[in-house]
Amino acid sequence: MTPEAVLQLARERGAKMVDFKFTDVPGSWQHFSVPLHELQEESFVEGFPFDGSSIRGFQAINESDMLILPDPETAFMDPFTAVPTLSLTCNIAHPGPAGQKQPYSRDPRHIAQKAEAYLRSTGIADTSYFGPEAEFYIFDHVRYASTENRQFAEIDSDEAHWGSSRDGTRNMGHLMRVKEGYFPVAPNDTLQDLRTEMVLKLEELGVPVEAQHHEVGAAGQAEIDIRFNTLVKTADNMLLYKYVVKNTARKYGKTVTFMPKPVYGDNGSGMHTHQSLWQDEKPLFYDADGYAGLSQMARYYIGGILMHAPAILAIAAPTTNSYKRLVPGFEAPVNLVFSKGNRSAAVRIPLTDNPKAKRIEFRPPDATANPYLLFSALLMAGLDGIRREIDPGDYGYGPVDKDLYSMSAAELREICSVPGSLTESLKALENDHTFLLEGNVFTTDLLEKYIELKQAQADEVRLRPVPIEFSLYYDA
């Protein structure tokens, strides 16, 4: 879509305001709005100024003048505003002399665009496809506080088994037992219509959806799978996905969280990420004679991801809560091996004989990740594996065609695992990030700021007492 076409769309749809959305370093959408008359064709080149010092991971206050540059290809009418509002996703730039602008090195979307350009420059492939499977919880109520004298969190779901003893409010039964939320019909599944509205809203906004369903978590866990697309487009779609899901739930009087582990004792929420490489519209990961139908290129790509997985986890599982989902001994994708059709391995090869559908699935990520950084890091690790010919079989990464969850402790000691905490992952990223710097895709200043932000979060959690500690130690 051209700038002229965007302005025409705005006029046809009666837009009164224009909303500019962009992404901070942790991966959340930020925005500000202007009246429609402020948006001109030249605005897409000249940009709009904002204060970069107030955005997480961006600039210091003494160098805070920044610009947003709207991308005309991202235009849509925001379905959640009372006043007709045109929405545009933006890149970030530094203003320069004589109108010259420099792309901002810490702009996550710019990093993703550089990753796509780097792929093309290698001659290995011209297109990378990504397909995320994001899970989330839909709650009816949440309360939490962390102050000097109070540490607590309370959630509630009308579907959860703990509501069976409610007194004083209507109780219709048909509640979900722990870990029995996968595919039950109504009346146990109360969220069908809500998920469907989320799906239809996404499709209205140009995000194709493949499926929606209740997930294993009994207290309202859900999954909506969007169609795969190119790296930047899929990352754009993931932020729009979260925006639609959260705001549709709010319209129903409910609240959505993408926290990886909001419920103790039940399933966590991940974002399994499917990936493949193509050249001249032909898939490169398929070989009928290879293990699980994989080409040697695909094996090298897997080798790169598994070798760099500890560092990637700092981006793929970027919260302290992520590591309450990634716990050895439970049904969590912590084992750094690959396997066909095996959901207990960190890399699963979906069973299909269709060359166009041959792909790999990396299972440790969750949806708290910044999708621009996550997809870029996975691509860079995979390309490093191809460039260095890292066959996973040569490094103890499998294939392992057995249920890793049922293996003995002695057997598991022979298999590498993901880091056990955010701090460990950040340390791994500090020690192993050269592969991200290839082609100037990631930059040292972005990685240093990212690690600084995430380590500060880890320290916040480390310094606070939590309620379970009172149960364990108060009477010591």
Q: Which residues are catalytic?
A: 51, 133, 135, 215, 223, 272, 343, 361, 363
- Count of CB atoms within 10 A of residue 115's CB? 27
Among residues 20, 35, 108, which one has the least CA distance to residue 67?
20
Distance CA 213, CA 25 (A): 31
Q: How far apart are the first and last CA of the chain?
A: 66
Q: Please list, in sequence order, all residues whose beta carbon lies within 8 angstroms of the beta carbon of residue 408, skipping any fewer than 6 positions away.
A: none
The CA-atom distances, in angstroms, between 260 and each of 5, 199, 301, 466 are 40, 22, 26, 18
Q: How far is CA 41 from the centre of its chain?
A: 33
The answer to whether the bond into 3 is cis (omega within 30° of 0) is: no
> What own/partner pairs with CB < 8 Å and gap ≥ 24 does 409-412 have?
412/328, 412/335
> Partners of 48 in the beta sheet?
68
∠437-442-448 over CA atoms, to 5°? 100
Helices (H), 185-252: 192-204, 231-251
Q: Are strands 360-362 and 338-340 parallel, antiparallel or unpaired?
A: unpaired
Q: Is the dihedral of CA 170, 172, 176, 178 positive or negative?
A: positive
Q: Which of 149, 148, 18 is nearest to 75 (CA)?
A: 18
Q: What angle do CA 447, 448, 450 make, to 5 degrees?
A: 60
Q: Name the E strands within 61-140.
A: 65-70, 76-77, 85-95, 101-103, 127-139
Tell me the C-alpha distance between 298 and 360, whole Å: 8
Helix (H, G, I), strand (E, B) or coil at 132: strand
Determine phi and psi for 50, rounding to 5 degrees.
-155, 170
The residue type found at 327 is V
Q: Calculate the alpha carbon distances from 270 to 149, 215, 324 in Å.
A: 32, 11, 12
How far, in Å, CA of 346 to CA of 272, rounded? 9
Q: Pick from 441, 5, 435, 425: which is nearest to 232 by CA?
A: 441
- Single out the residue of 230, 231, 327 nearest to residue 270, CA to CA: 327
DSSP secondary structure, 397-442, as one string: -----S-GGGS-HHHHTTS-B--SSHHHHHHHHHHS-HHHHGGGSS
